[in-house]
Amino acid sequence: MNDERVFDVCVVGAGLIGLSVALALSRSMSGIRIVVVDKEDGVARHQSSHNSGVVHSGLYYRPGSLKSRLCAEGRREIYEMCAEYGVPASRTGKLVIATRESELSALSELERRGRAAGLTGLERIGPAEIREREPHATGIAALQVPEAGVADFPGLAREMSAVLQTEGVDVRTAWSLSSITHGPSRIVATNGDDAIEASVLVNCAGLHSDRVAAMAGVDSDIKIVPFRGEYYRLKDDAARLVNALIYPVPDPRFPFLGVHFTRRVDGSVEVGPNAVLALAREQYRNVRPNVHDMGEVIASRGFRRLALRHGVSGVSELVRSRSKRLYARQARRLVPAITHDSLIQGGVGVRAQAIARDGALVDDFVIERAGGTIHVLNAPSPGATASIAIGRHVARMAREML
């Protein structure tokens, strides 16, 4: 093979996590040869550009978990890197609002986790202070979280890609990994007739990470189940009802945060997303059920167990996703002035949510090593916030294997 096909590390997936792995490697080992491949014709075309754009504070995660640690580190770095590259980002702060007595203990637990995660400026406030910060929001108590904010994640990914190329990293788009074979000392990755050799292959394929792991011969406990997140936007005259970020207290049974309000870096206000089972992994509009994607989900033992456990709430999410009126009702619990007419259709994202064989939705980030390969098998939200820290964590593993 000629030199353009031989590398030390091949990263599959040019989303924020794959790009962050490459950046961390490039900056920690001089002379290292890295290629990042992605099947799309540009970087960050999936989760990294179809998300809420929120820099999460780290409030929600179990103290000591990878999510908690990497979110705290990553949050600081996202703000720093955005400032360095001139990418829009802002530490706007957010309110997590309890609207019912039954949510107060969960709100206290969030406060405890936030303090354990070292969040500064965390404050428990009452109805009058909620109105001072968000005059159109309502609730019986709230947690004020100053370190949360928003960032232009796709803009950051594009800058990272440009910087990587100036550092000599080969970023190859329109390169779709179709097979992985293990040679005596190297791994061969192919895209049809085109082949790349590398000492280490890092799988950051997001919604396809389980398939890439299977190509590498990894018998993982984990299967990706795609969950669609649909957003509405507030019309311009209703956008004034929201200053920054307004969240409900999440339902502890689910790894999703509930319908919330996000004032994004461009000033628009999004409502959502919901979480419904997706009929295809990477389709955003005019979705036609993908028989292969659906069949794989339904065939997995984990999904069948999940469906048994959450059947009723799963169905109610499906109803909400089709009914704007029900969606508005949900939003009105936090901001009562929202009406059906305040909402216009917004974006769509599809989450790569890992599910274990026993049907449990996997909560923490999962990164596994097998032979000469590393697999990022679960990196849902706050994966964008934590991406730079995840990249450094994976790069450390890769360096040990070179």
Strands (E), 43-137: 54-55, 89-90, 94-98, 123-125
Tell me the closest approach of the beta carbon of residue 332 to ligand FAD, in angstroms.
Answer: 22
Chain positions 305 to 334 lying near ligand FAD, rule: CB under 6 A, are none
Q: Assign 9 to helix, strand or coil.
A: strand
8-state DSSP, 393: H
Residues in binding contact with ligand FAD, number by CB under 6 A: 42
Q: In this complex, which beta carbon is closest to ligand FAD, that of residue 22 or of residue 328?
A: 22
Q: Quick one: which of 58, 149, 155, 229 contacts ligand FAD (CB under 6 A)?
A: 229
Tell me the closest approach of the beta carbon of residue 257 to ligand FAD, in angstroms.
Answer: 8
* Antiparallel, parallel or unpaired: β 222-234 and 343-356: antiparallel
Chain positions 359 to 388 lying near ligand FAD, rule: CB under 6 A, are 379-385
Q: In this complex, which beta carbon is closest to ligand FAD, that of residue 46 or of residue 320?
A: 46
Distance CA 272, CA 379 (A): 20
Helix 301-322 vs helix 291-299: crossing angle, to nearest 10: 130
> With CB under 6 A as the contact rule, which of the stretches 16-24, 82-90, 107-115, 246-254 interacts with ligand FAD?
16-24
Q: Is 176 in the site for ligand FAD (CB under 6 A)?
A: yes
Q: Is 10 in the site for ligand FAD (CB under 6 A)?
A: no
Q: In this complex, which beta carbon is closest to ligand FAD, that of residue 33 or of residue 56?
A: 56
Q: In this complex, which beta carbon is closest to ligand FAD, that of residue 97 or of residue 141?
A: 97
Q: In this complex, which beta carbon is closest to ligand FAD, that of residue 53 or of residue 250?
A: 53
Distance CA 386, CA 78 (A): 8
Longest dimension (CA), the chain: 69
| Contact present, 272 and 228 (Cβ < 8 Å) | no
| Contact present, 151 and 340 (Cβ < 8 Å) | no
Single-letter amino acid, residue 154: P
Q: Is 205 in the site for ligand FAD (CB under 6 A)?
A: yes
Please provide residue 225's backbone torsions phi and psi, each rounded to the nearest 5 degrees. -115, 120
Q: Is 258 in the site for ligand FAD (CB under 6 A)?
A: no
Q: Quick one: which of 67, 158, 351, 375 contacts ligand FAD (CB under 6 A)?
A: 351
> With CB under 6 A as the contact rule, which of the stretches 133-141, 292-300, 315-323, 344-352 interacts with ligand FAD?
344-352
Tell me the closest approach of the beta carbon of residue 308 to ligand FAD, in angstroms.
Answer: 25
Q: In this complex, which beta carbon is closest to ligand FAD, that of residue 35 or of residue 142?
A: 35
Q: Is 18 in the site for ligand FAD (CB under 6 A)?
A: yes
Cβ count near 399 (within 10 Å): 16
Q: Quick one: which of 11, 13, 264, 391 contacts ligand FAD (CB under 6 A)?
A: 13
Strands (E), 154-280: 170-172, 179-182, 187-191, 194-203, 222-234, 245-248, 260-263, 269-272, 276-277
Q: Quick one: which of 206, 248, 302, 391 contacts ligand FAD (CB under 6 A)?
A: 206
8-state DSSP, 64: T
Q: Is 81 in the site for ligand FAD (CB under 6 A)?
A: no
Residue closest to ligand FAD (Cβ): 383
Distances (CA, A) of 220 to 5, 211, 356, 377, 385: 29, 10, 9, 9, 26
Write out the residues near ligand FAD by the rule CB under 6 A: 12-18, 37-40, 44-48, 50-54, 56, 176-177, 204-208, 212, 229, 273, 349-351, 379-385
